[in-house]
Amino acid sequence: MSFTVAVDVPVPMRDGVALATNVWLPDGPGPFPALLVRTPYGKDDAGLYGNPKLPDVFALVEAGYAVVAQDVRGTSRSPGTFVPHTHEGPDSLDTLTWLAAQPWCDGAVGMWGGSYMGFSQWQAAAHDVPALRAIAPVMTSADPYAAPWRSPGGALSQDAVMTWGTLSALRNLRRGLEDGRGDPTDAGALLADLSEPPSLHEPLPIAGRAAVTRSLPWLGQVLDHPERDAFWREIAAIDHGERITVPALHIGGWYDVFVGETVRSYTTLRRRGGSAAARDGQRLVIGPWSHADGTDLGTYPDRSFGLAGSIKTAGITEEHLRFFDRWVRGRPGDTPRVRLFVMGADEWRDEPDWPLPDTRYTDLFLDGGGRAGTAAGDGVLTRDVPAEDATDTFRYDPRDPVPSLGGTVLAAAPGAYPGPADQAAAETREDVLCFTTPVLRWPVEVTGHVTLVLHIRSSTPDTDFTGKLVDVHPDGRAILLCEGIQRVRYRESLTEPALLAPGTVAELTLDLGVTANVFRPGHRIRLEVSSSNFPRYDRNTNTGATIATDDADAVVVAVNHVLHGPVHPSRLILPVIGRSPSEEDRA
C-alpha cells in the first residue's frame, strides 16, 4: 500500500478562519470518495489512529478512500477559541463543501469518529449537504442534554461534565499561556483536581469552579441551564430527525455514558428519518464496552465477557468499510440491521431491529414488609401484584451520597472503574433499597429498554430517585447492568420544573437505560433504589433552589419513601425476550 499525506492544509470557514486539516490520499489517479473526521483531541495524535473503537485509517486508505482529519476550531493546530458545540455545525458544513469541490474528491463524503467527534457528524447531518452520504457516530449522542452532559431525568452528569470540562479547560489554558493569556496558577489547580477526584467532585457549590470556568466559560453555561431549554435544543440534532437524510452506523457499549442515546438515535431515525435511505440505512452495533480506554479486552475486575467480548475482535474497521462501501460508494451489500453482544450468554447475535420484535414488556412489582434497606432486607420482586400496601423509608443525606460503583461513568476514581462492577459494597447501606427475585430456575433474557415506575413521597420539595438493574450471581456478586435517575422537579417536564409538596405522593418514571443480558439459572434479578449515585450524577441538595449554586450549608436531609402494593403499584418493567424457556414460561 502506498499513499500521500498533506499536513496542515488550511480549510477556510465562512468567517475567514482556516482550520488545520490532514489529507491522506491513496495511490492512484482518483478522484476518491472521502471520509472525514473532526476532532478536538489532535488530528496528529496517535490515539486517533490506534484506537480500537475507531476504524483503522490505513485500512480505509487501502480500500480506496481519501481520509481527512481536521482539528476543530480552537484546538491543536487550528486557530480560534474552543467553545464546545458552538462552531461544529457551520464548520462541518463548510468543510464538507470544501471537500466536495476538491479535484481528488469524487463528491461523495462520509463522516466518522467517536465521542465529541460524533457531535460534528450529527450537526452536519441535520442540515442539507449533498456531499454527505453517511455518518458513523461511535459512542456519542445526537442530544447532548440527555448524554453526556445531563440525563434523561434532568440530573447533571457530574462525572462527565467535570472530568471532560476540566481537561478541556486545561487545554484552553495551555493554549492561552502560549499566547501570553491566562493565569499560570490555574494550571496547577486544574491538574490537582484531575489527579485527585475528591477535590474535583466533592466541593459545594458545584458552580464554584473558577479555575475551570475562566478557561472554559461553557461549563458555567451548562450549570446555568439545568432545564432542556433553547440552549440545549439548538444543538440537539435528534429534534430534527425529519431533516436527517443520511444513513448512520451507530456503535456503542452497554457501559458507555452515551449508550441510551446511541439507541435512541437509531430508533428515531428508523421512524422519522427524512429519506428512505435514512430510515432503511440505520445500523446498530453494541458490545460489552465502556467509554474509557483500557477495556478493549472485554474483561473487567468483577466480570469477564471472554475473548468474544473484546472490541479488538468485534471487527470495527470491517463494520465501517461495509457500511461506507454501501452508502458512500453505492456498492450493493446486505448486512444485519442490528448486532448485539448478549451478556450472560456472552455471545454476539444478529437481530432484525431494535426493539427486538419478540420483546414482551414484563412487570416485576416491588413487594415486602417495608424493610428493604440493604441486600439483607425483605424487598422482593414479584410478577404478582402485591396483596398488601407497604412503604420503605430511608434518609438521603447529600453529604453522604451512595458512591458510584462502575456503570456508565466516563472516568473513575483510583481503584474504581467504569463497567460491570460488583454493587455489594453499596448494598450494605440502609439508604439503598434492594428488591430481589427468588433464585431463577430457567434463563431469563432481558434485552431492550428498562423502565422503573415508583410511587414516592418526600419530606422535601425536590429530591432524586435512582434505580439500578443488577444480576446477582450464585457466588454473591451483584453485577450492575444499567442505571438511571429522576430528579423529582422534572417528573412531568424537562422544560417546566414543578416542585413537590412535601408529604404528597407522586408517580415517577425512571429511564434505567438499555441492556442485553441473560439471567442464568441460579442467578437472581435485583433492583436497587436510592436517591444518589455520586459522582455519576450530581447530588440533589433537596432545597428546591438552584442545585448548582447551593453550598454545603444549604443542603437538607430528605426523608424519602417508596410506596408499593395494590394501591401504589411500583414496578420494574423489563423487556423480556421469549425465545428460550424462561422462568415465566415454566412457572
Which candidate in 85, 291, 320, 523 is catalytic? Answer: 291
Is it the case that residue 339 has pLDDT exceeding 60? yes
| Closest C-alpha to 522, from 440, 445, 583 | 440
SS3 261: helix
- Are 282 and 247 spatial neighbours (Cβ–Cβ below 8 Å)? yes
Q: Are strands 283-290 and 338-342 parallel, antiparallel or unpaired?
A: parallel
Distances 155 to 272, 561, 580 between C-alpha atoms, Å:
27, 20, 38
One-letter amino acid at 536 equals R
Report the pLDDT value the prediction gives residue 584, as an integer from 0 to 100.
45
Q: How far apart are CA 273 and CA 250, in angstroms?
A: 14
Residue-wise pLDDT tens digits, 421-473: 999 999 999 999 999 999 999 999 999 999 999 999 999 999 999 999 999 99
Q: What is the DSSP letter of 312?
A: G
- Are 505 and 563 spatial neighbours (Cβ–Cβ below 8 Å)? yes
Report the pLDDT value the prediction gives residue 334, as an integer from 0 to 100.
84
- Say how many C-beta atoms besides its own lie within 10 A of residue 586's C-beta: 9
Q: Are strands 380-382 and 478-487 parallel, antiparallel or unpaired?
A: unpaired
Instruction: Give residues with Cβ within 8 angstroms of 101, minimum separation 6.
Output: none
Name the least confident of 206-210, 397-401, 486-490.
206-210
Q: How far apart are CA 353 and CA 267, in angstroms?
A: 9
Domains and CATH numbers, the chain: 3-147+232-351 (3.40.50.1820), 157-225 (no CATH), 359-576 (2.60.120.260)
Residue-wise pLDDT tens digits, 361-386: 999 999 999 999 999 999 999 999 99
Beta strands in 198-247, from DSSP E residues, in sequence order: none
Instruction: Give residues with Cβ within 8 angstroms of 313, minimum separation 6.
Output: 307
Is it the case that residue 180 has pLDDT exceeding 90? no
Q: Which residues pair with 572 in a beta bridge?
A: 364, 452
Is it the case that residue 296 has pLDDT exceeding 70? no
* Single pTM value for the model: 0.96
Q: How far apart are CA 46 and CA 439, in angstroms?
A: 48
> Phi then psi for 140, rounded to 5 degrees?
-150, -170
Give exposure, 228-261, as e/b (b: 16+ Cβ within 10 Å): beeebeebbbbbbbeebbbbbbbbbbbbbbbbbb
Distances 553 to 56, 142, 395, 543 between C-alpha atoms, Å:
52, 37, 18, 11
- Say how many C-beta atoms besides its own lie within 10 A of residue 435's C-beta: 27
Tell me the average pLDDT across 468-494. 98
Tell me the average pLDDT across 296-308. 87
Share of the chain above pLDDT 70, in %: 97
Tell me the average pLDDT across 201-228. 96
Residue 464: active-site member: no
Residue 538: active-site member: no
Chain centroid to CA 219: 18
Tell me the average pLDDT across 73-99. 97
Residue-wise pLDDT tens digits, 18-71: 999 999 999 999 999 999 999 999 999 988 888 889 999 999 999 999 999 999
Give exposure, 280-305, as e/b (b: 16+ Cβ within 10 Å): ebbbbbbbbbbbbeebbbbebebbeb
Q: Are strands 18-26 and 3-12 parallel, antiparallel or unpaired?
A: antiparallel
Which candidate in 78, 92, 115, 459 is catalytic? Answer: 115
Q: How far apart are CA 99 and CA 480, in angstroms?
A: 45
Q: How far apart are CA 471 and CA 520, in angstroms?
A: 9
More confident residue, 197 or 40: 40
Q: How far apart are CA 113 and CA 41, in angstroms?
A: 11
Residue-wise pLDDT tens digits, 534-570: 999 999 999 999 999 999 999 999 999 999 999 999 9
Beta strands in 95-160, from DSSP E residues, in sequence order: 105-114, 132-138
Which candidate in 256, 431, 511, 538 is catalytic? Answer: 256
Beta strands in 75-209, from DSSP E residues, in sequence order: 105-114, 132-138
Tell me the average pLDDT across 171-197. 91
Tell me the average pLDDT across 187-195. 92
Tell me the average pLDDT across 490-507. 97
| Closest C-alpha to 539, from 438, 433, 437, 402 | 402
Tell me the average pLDDT across 236-240. 97
Q: How far apart are CA 403 and CA 421, in angstroms?
A: 12
Q: How far apart are CA 527 and CA 381, in angstroms?
A: 8
* SS3 annotation, 348-410: EEEECCCCCCCEEEEEEEEECCCCCEECCCCCEEECCCCCCCEEEEEEECCCCCCECCCECCC
The pLDDT confidence band at residue 582, using thresholds 50, 70 and 90, is very low
Instruction: Give residues with Cβ within 8 angstroms of 16, minimum separation 6.
Output: none
Q: Which residues pair with 516 in a beta bridge?
A: 447
Mean pLDDT rounded to a whole number for the chain: 95
SS3 316: helix
The pLDDT confidence band at residue 299, using thresholds 50, 70 and 90, is confident
Instruction: Give residues with Cβ within 8 angstroms of 100, minimum separation 6.
Output: 107, 109, 130, 131
Q: Which helix (H) or strand (E) holds 39?
A: strand 32-39
Is it the case that residue 142 has pLDDT exceeding 60? yes
Residue 256: active-site member: yes
Complete edge-to-edge strand list for the sheet that includes strand 347-351: 3-12, 18-26, 66-71, 32-39, 105-114, 132-138, 249-255, 283-290, 338-342, 347-351
Residue-wise pLDDT tens digits, 242-290: 999 999 999 999 999 999 999 999 999 999 999 999 999 999 999 999 9
